[in-house]
Structure 1
Amino acid sequence: MDKKSIMKIGIVNYGCGNIASISNIIKYIGYKPEIINRSEDVLLFDSIILPGVGHFKNGMSNINFSGMRNALDKRAELDKPILGICLGMQLMTQSSEESDETGLCWFDSKTIKFTELENNKNKILVPHMGWNYVKEVEENVFFEEEDRFYFVHSFYVDALKSQEALATTIYEEINFSSAIKKGNLVGVQFHPEKSHQFGMTFFRKYFNKI
């Protein structure tokens, strides 16, 4: 039987996600995603996506007050596949300089803000917005050398010195972690749902790996 017809993919609705665009691109490549509105459904899917757009504090507050937190933590503890996108990736970390709110703490890394360049000649433009290349830290099944994706973010995950960095991107001389991985937990800073053929290829590779 075709894997696309039997794989259960869920997109977590906690009030901060770009759900429609993610659902549409996943449908376009042949899968049938469902929206997760209840915490009791979080463990029922083969893979879930934790989307995210907006402020770190709002994201964590919504997850905590929605009743999703315990179910998400249980899924992470069981090492069942979770893909965090943009803010969703940042929420997976310990904390963010955007807020005093504690993150989900699934990764040891922290989320920090883009700052002035070391040479102090000028300040970098924030947010980092537009197309940029992603370079794998070591050989993996998700990225190729010339892959580029669409980014919109003012904060980034600092995982370069850890085992969690999966891929990196350079913006104005700052080399940051554009993808992280720990077991079956994966986070990407870019928006695959806005990245056209590169985004579709990424989703295909990701779901094929599960």
Structure 2
Amino acid sequence: MIAIIDYGMGNLHSVSQALERLGYDYVITDSKEQIELAAGVILPGVGAFGDAMKQLKETGLDQVIQEITTSGKPLLGICLGMQLLFESSEEGGEWEGLSLLKGKAKRLPGVNTQGEKYKVPHMGWNKLHYKQAAHPLLEGIEEGYTYFVHSFYMTGLDEEELIAYADYHERVPGVVGRNNVLGMQFHPEKSGQTGIQLLANFGKLCEGVKVG
């Protein structure tokens, strides 16, 4: 079973539909007990970084996520959920994240190095370029297009934690991870066959995980 964390700021329906389509058992929950019984965990997210961290801390789910990481169970952050895995964000001030990965969320500047303006938020399909083509999340998937909706992107990463990226006037980390902590900036559940296969590969990582 895969647990989708419900902290009031996630696109729960589309993520759960994708898992259902793939045939994975799942539960949408804010219960520590149910999360502990899961073989893998998804942290979705839509909205502002500061509000999301406040919700996680007030519910104690931030500590649950830390425990998941220590247990070795696969954890996947999606969109804002991916950004929360990092150290901090400058969205609406300075906010501390979960600090499971190194880096900071910064706003896309909207002006490229030639002084030309570009649209923010970054919204639409963009091609992934692989840095770690042999990573289990990318198994059986050629470099394809995924669907992005975001105004902030991750900077200051540990290069060993960058799995795939997209170009949108800046290098936008698209897939990140270290050991069992994984993230996708785009919405895999809205990214056609490429996104579905990415979720299927995450599901494979969860198979055989000891729960309880």
Task: Normalising by structure 1, report the TM-score.
Answer: 0.91
Per mean C-alpha deviation after superposition, the further-off stretch among 138-147 and 85-94 is 138-147
User: What is aligned with 1:157?
Assistant: 154
2:32 to 39, 57, 79: 39
Corresponding residue number in structure 2 for 1:197: 193
CA displacement at 1:105 relative to structure 2: 0.4
Alpha-carbon distance change, 39 to 161 in structure 1, aligned in 2, over 3 angstroms? closer
Q: List per-residue Cα deviations over 1:146-196 (Å, max 9, x = no partner).
A: 321110000011255521111111013x11211111111100000011112
- After the TM superposition, which segments of 4 or more aligned residues of structure 1 sit over 6 Å from their partners? none
Q: Compute the RMSD of aligned alpha carbons.
A: 1.4
**Unmatched runs of 5 consecutive residues or more in structure 1:** 1-7
The percentage of counterpart residues that share the same residue type is 36
| Structure-1 separation of matches of 2:191 and 2:102 | 28
1:16-35 residue pairs with structure 2 within 5 A?
Answer: 16-35=9-28
TM-score (norm 2): 0.90
Q: Which residue in 2 is equivalent to 1:3?
A: none
Runs of 5+ unmatched residues, structure 2: 207-212
CA deviation string 1:7-66 (max 9, x = no partner): x11100001000011001110111121112212332221001000001000110110111
What is the CA–CA distance in structure 1 between the aligned matches of 2:192 and 2:142, rounded to whole Å? 17
Q: Deviations over 1:48-96 (max 9, x none)?
A: 1000001000110110111212111111122321000000000000001
Match of 1:133 in 2: 127
Deviations 1:106-160 (A, max 9, x none): 001111111121111x222100000111111022233333321110000011255
Relative contact order (C-alpha < 8 Å, sep 6+): which is higher?
Answer: 2
Distance in 2 (alpha carbons) for counterparts of 1:190 and 1:45: 24
Mapping 1:42-53, distance limit 5 Å: 42-53=35-46
> 166, 177, 193: which is aligned to 1:181?
177
Q: Tell me the distance in 1 between the aligned counterparts of 2:102 and 2:158.
A: 11
AA aligned opposite 1:11: I
